[in-house]
Amino acid sequence: MSVLHRILLVALIGFFNSAFAQTTVGNTQADTVRTTSATTTSAVTSPQPTDSLSEYVDEIILFAKRFIGTPYHYGGGTPSGFDCSGFINYVMGNFGIKLSRSAPGIAEFGKTVKLSELQPGDLMFFKGSNVNASGVGHVAMVVEVVNGQIKFIHSSTSRGVIIDSFNGSRYYVPRYIKAKRLDYGGIQPPKK
């Protein structure tokens, strides 16, 4: 074998080794990218149900808080003025959730939950101004529960949209009737 052939052979072997090494490294990097992408996609597209629901409820509450200070208006259902059910209806409607227009009608949706089980996004129902009434006259949405302390957002007749504390309230505690948890996936009133 001549010197020229040897040089060409060494060069060719070097070229193929270099090309093979780059292909292997390239494939390893591509596999790593694919694996990383698959892991990332899986984490993003398959969140825990409670996490995604919690984020969804957080968005609803954040939207509701934008209207703090909006005045009360009997029969109102727009940002220029809300009554209690008009406020809840407007907020939920923004997320494609259709509810009844009245507080007693909204009280027919969802699953009843105990006060001790309340979570943000749950709805609380109260008697109206007459503490001796038996029916639902007011609705509010829970925005926070910390160490059993419940805060809710609602449209108050005297103060408009505001966040109030439930625990220890001399007005709301005696008027409390029940609380409901909505099925944010498919809201339907119960069949009678």
Return the number of other C-beta atoms located less than 10 Å from residue 136's C-beta.
21
List the structure tokens of 142. 């829970």
Q: Checking DSSP bridges between strand 160-165 and strand 149-156, what pairing results, if any?
A: antiparallel
Q: Is 5 a catalytic residue?
A: no
Q: Is 84 a catalytic residue?
A: yes
Q: Is 104 a catalytic residue?
A: no
Q: Which of 76, 81, 138, 155 is catalytic?
A: 138
- Burial, 105: exposed, middle or buried (Cβ in 10 Å; 0-12, 13-18, 19+)? middle
Q: Which of 57, 64, 84, 140 is catalytic?
A: 84
Residue from 182, 176, 64 nearest 125 by CA: 176
How is 73-86 classified by DSSP, letter by letter? -TT-EETTEE-HHH
Q: 188 and 172 in contact (C-beta within 8 Å)?
A: no
- Per DSSP, 129 falls in state S
Q: Which of 154, 155, 179, 182 is catalytic?
A: 154
Distances in Å between the alpha carbon of 145 and those of 119, 120, 142, 152, 174? 6, 7, 8, 9, 19
Q: Active-site residue numbers? A: 84, 138, 154
